[in-house]
Chain A
Amino acid sequence: MKKILLLLFVLSLSFSGCEKDDICDGNTLTTPRMVITFYDINNPSVEKSVTNLSIFADGKENAVPYSGNTLINGSTVSIPLKVDANVSKFHFILNYGSTNTALVNEDILTLNYKPENIFVSRACGFKTNFTLDAFVPFVHTDAATPDLKWIQYIAVEKYSIANENETHLKIYF
């Protein structure tokens, strides 16, 4: 009897060992990126693909990867925002790396927002959702060495950035 009790005690100790096996499920909605869709300025209801667009955050050497590629050729792109700041500044460079320097054009987009940390689960911890500033959601400027703006018009589609299934920002060019 005593031996069995001792054995049970040892077994019970092993219970306390299994606590940290939770893994954050990949399908869980965690920190979202901002989804940008590009439209044709001449035909605003039609999406238009960019060519070799590279997006650099201010002060970063490497461009934002999208679908594993830093050169974006498509009508939509998602960019991560800084979770621990109110402002993220990006350089949108069209025809990045092109030998024909006349085609390369850089615009600067500064996004103003409010981050909010939201509890997800034990395994995932927290996520950060963003709300674009209601008054000045973005500031659009030309590059440091002016080369005329390639972006013609920007419209905020969704101020609240909580998932990646919808467009938050529309860029017309």
Chain B
Amino acid sequence: MKHTLKYIFSSCLILSLFFANAQNTKAPTAKPVKDTVSTGIIPEKAAVATKATVTSKTAVAAKTDATAKKDSVPPVIKTNRYGVRVGVDLFKLSRSFYDKDYKGIELVGDYRWDKKHYIAAEVGNENKTTDDERLNFTTKGSYLKVGFDYNGYENWLDMENIISIGLRYGFSTFNQQLNNYKIYNTNPYFGEVPPIASGQKFNGLTASWIEVVAGMKAKMFNNVFVGFSIRLNRLMTNKQPDNFENLYIPGFNRTYNGSFGVGFNYTVTYFVPIFKKKVVPVEKKKTEKK
């Protein structure tokens, strides 16, 4: 258990490095686009720069002068598109094909609330048979996760990429069936007993949890986004069966001795634009100065 967690945490660290990388590599590729679009501004900027070097004292005045001039150049108007994004978790979908012990689907969706906030939800259904060393059991159930994402990524012009952190409240209702199990006996004088078939079913189980989500979504083409997220879960409530345990919870995934868990998804989503909002010029100036 400890080893798994160790690996997960180290993997998370590695993944976080990639997030940083993603931001770094993004900038150079984006710059040329910006340059070509806003060619009209560049000479003015240069002029501002030369002015500033010549008379550093009047730099502030020069800047305000330059911004005043910029306002008179209208071609680039940044608009933010608002709408609903719907999609599916590719990992669960593909696993259903290659893993005979797993059937699952997860639909994901979000709605852009304001510039940086998205209301997000996932709904899914899973049917998983876990074959452990000493236990074999089947978990079936559905789950719903609702929460928000905060986009911390500053997009250039009309780009719509997302690097987000968010929270979810997850709820699952499910049942478990114990297929067979082994008796742990440190004194096998009578020999190891073969796995005992059980077939006992535990119905009406529920669990709820909080998830911290770190994710990214990139626009591939038109309105199609590809995204990835990793999740750290913490169980809030867990209705356990008698003489067994919720070793797997749909949506939460495998449980550990403590109340923490991990998850991830890999999504393809389609963005349905509903309306657009123009970015206020003042805000545009600020972003350009950076």
Contact = CB atoms under 8 A, between A and B. Distances in A.
A117 interface: yes
A18 B135 CA distance: 16
A117 B254 CA distance: 23
Given A18-B4, A19-B254, A123-B133, A128 B185 contact: yes
A126 B245 CA distance: 11
Nearest to A8: B228
Contact of B243 (A22, A57, A119): A119
Question: Is chain B's interface secondary structure helix, strand, loop, or mixed overall?
Answer: mixed
Interface residues on B, range: 35 or more
Contacts of A46: none
Contact of A21 (B4, B134, B244): B4
Interface residues of A, number: 42
Given A1-B26, A18-B4, A8 B182 contact: no
A50 to B, nearest CB: 19
B11 A11 contact: yes
B161 to A, nearest CB: 8
Nearest to B255: A122
Nearest to A63: B189
Contacts of A117: 181, 183, 196
Nearest to A118: B243
Nearest to B99: A16
Contact of A30 (B184, B196, B218): B184
A172 B190 CA distance: 27
B190 A80 contact: yes
Interface stretch (B17-25, B57-65, B166-174, B276-284): B17-25
A24 B243 CA distance: 18
Contact of B133 (A12, A20, A127, A128): A20
A4 B22 contact: yes
Contacts of B245: 119, 121-122
Contacts of A168: none
Contacts, number: 117
Given A1-B26, A15-B11, A80-B189, A124 B184 contact: yes
Given A1-B26, A11-B11, A120 B184 contact: yes
Q: Which of A8, A33, A60, A65 has most B Cβ within 10 Å?
A: A8
Interface string B7-23: 11001001100100110
A84 B91 CA distance: 42
12 contacts: A12-B228, A15-B8, A19-B254, A20-B132, A30-B184, A117-B181, A117-B183, A122-B245, A126-B134, A127-B183, A127-B185, A128-B185
Given A15-B264, A19-B132, A80-B190, 10 more contacts: A4-B22, A12-B228, A15-B262, A21-B3, A22-B133, A57-B190, A64-B189, A84-B193, A117-B181, A122-B245
Interface of B: 1, 3-4, 7-8, 11, 14-15, 18, 21-22, 25-26, 91, 132-135, 161, 181-190, 193, 196, 216, 218, 220, 226, 228, 230, 243-245, 247, 254, 257, 262, 264, 266
